Amino acid sequence: MIETVFRCEDLPRADRFDFWRERMAQLMAPMEMTSDHTRDFRGEVRILEFGAASVWPTRFREMDFRRTPKLIRQSDPELYHFSFIQEGNLQVSQSRQEAAHNAEGLYAVDTSRPFACLAFGGPPAGVGLEIPKALIPVPHDRIDRLLARRLQPRLPRRVRDAAQRLPPSGACVPRAGRYPATPGAQGHAALRAAHGPCHVVGVGDGVGWRGGPICPTACRTVRGLSLTGSDRFLAPT
């Protein structure tokens, strides 16, 4: 696992928005971006890389993202981007589908198609997940029908309850090893939100966690929440 953190506040105000735009292009895909807060932009991202996939908790100021046909022709990483929203509001459109998203919402977009995303009503916060399309074991036409729509994880309440039962930060010591609990993509977000010391180190594969250390207390708490296929949490509300 490779971890990187960057904060716009570490730069001079005049450089912050351009820096954010460049890093988002590297992390996800080149996009047109505008904001009413360019003079004092604030944003933070923690990037966790697991091979070809990456997970990135983030918080930033309100803004507008657009992936245009011109930018797609120039560069396309061929990713599915999933966003789990913890705070704020987003209006997302792609492939003639449009939906509003807010806290506890989940949506997906395809970097190979134009899309638009407007973040408004307060600084948004959430967790992004970038996965190469070639690694998704679901027919692409099935995912195409869900783009931009509000998705509902199969077990959102159980995952949320599991995260709430975890001990507070600092109450347990991470331990290296492999444990048979795989809560899936939405579990990653819930665990990180409720239990900072636990190093969530892999995209769920239905067998166990792979990589560096993970707290065994967290594993015991979420045992039984395994989602063994990406298609099992891709259900629209």
Q: What is the pLDDT of residue 176?
A: 37
Residues 207-210: contacts with CB within 8 Å, 24+ apart? 207/180, 207/182, 208/178, 208/179, 208/180, 208/181, 208/182, 209/178, 209/179, 209/181, 209/182, 210/178
Whose tokens are 């931009």? That residue is 148
Whose tokens are 């993509």? That residue is 185
The rounded distance, in Å, linking the Cα atoms of 116 and 91 is 8
Q: What is the pLDDT of residue 226?
A: 34
Q: What is the pLDDT of residue 2?
A: 87
Q: What is the pLDDT of residue 228?
A: 34
Torsion (CA) 212, 55, 50, 201 in degrees, nearest 10:
20
Tens digits of pLDDT across the chain (237 residues) = 889 999 999 999 999 999 999 999 999 999 999 999 999 999 999 999 999 999 999 999 999 999 999 999 999 999 999 999 999 999 999 999 999 999 989 999 999 999 999 999 999 999 999 999 999 888 888 889 999 999 975 544 544 454 444 444 333 333 333 333 334 444 444 444 444 433 333 333 332 333 333 344 333 333 333 333 344 444 454
Nearest to 102 by CA among 120, 116, 115: 120
Residue 142, phi-psi category: left (phi > 0), alpha (psi -120 to 50), beta (remainder): alpha
Q: What is the pLDDT of residue 173?
A: 35
Q: What is the pLDDT of residue 48?
A: 94
Q: What is the pLDDT of residue 89?
A: 96
Q: Provide the token pair at 17.
A: 């928005």
Q: What is the pLDDT of residue 157?
A: 53
Q: Provide the token pair at 7.
A: 């904060």
The rounded distance, in Å, linking the Cα atoms of 163 and 54 is 21
Complete domains list, the chain, with CATH: 2-144 (2.60.120.10), 156-233 (no CATH)
Q: Write the DSSP assignment of the chain as a string of letters.
A: -EEEEEEGGGS-HHHHHHHHHHHHHHHT---EEE-TTGGG--EEEEEEEETTEEEEEEEE--EEEEE-HHHHHH----EEEEEEEEEEEEEEEETTEEEEE-TT-EEEEETTS-EEEEEEEEEEEEEEEEEEGGG--S-HHHHHTTTTSPB--SSHHHHHHHHHHSPPTTSS--B-S--S----HHHHHHHHHH-TTS---S---SS---SS-B-HHHHHHHTT----SGGGG--B-
The rounded distance, in Å, linking the Cα atoms of 199 and 24 is 23
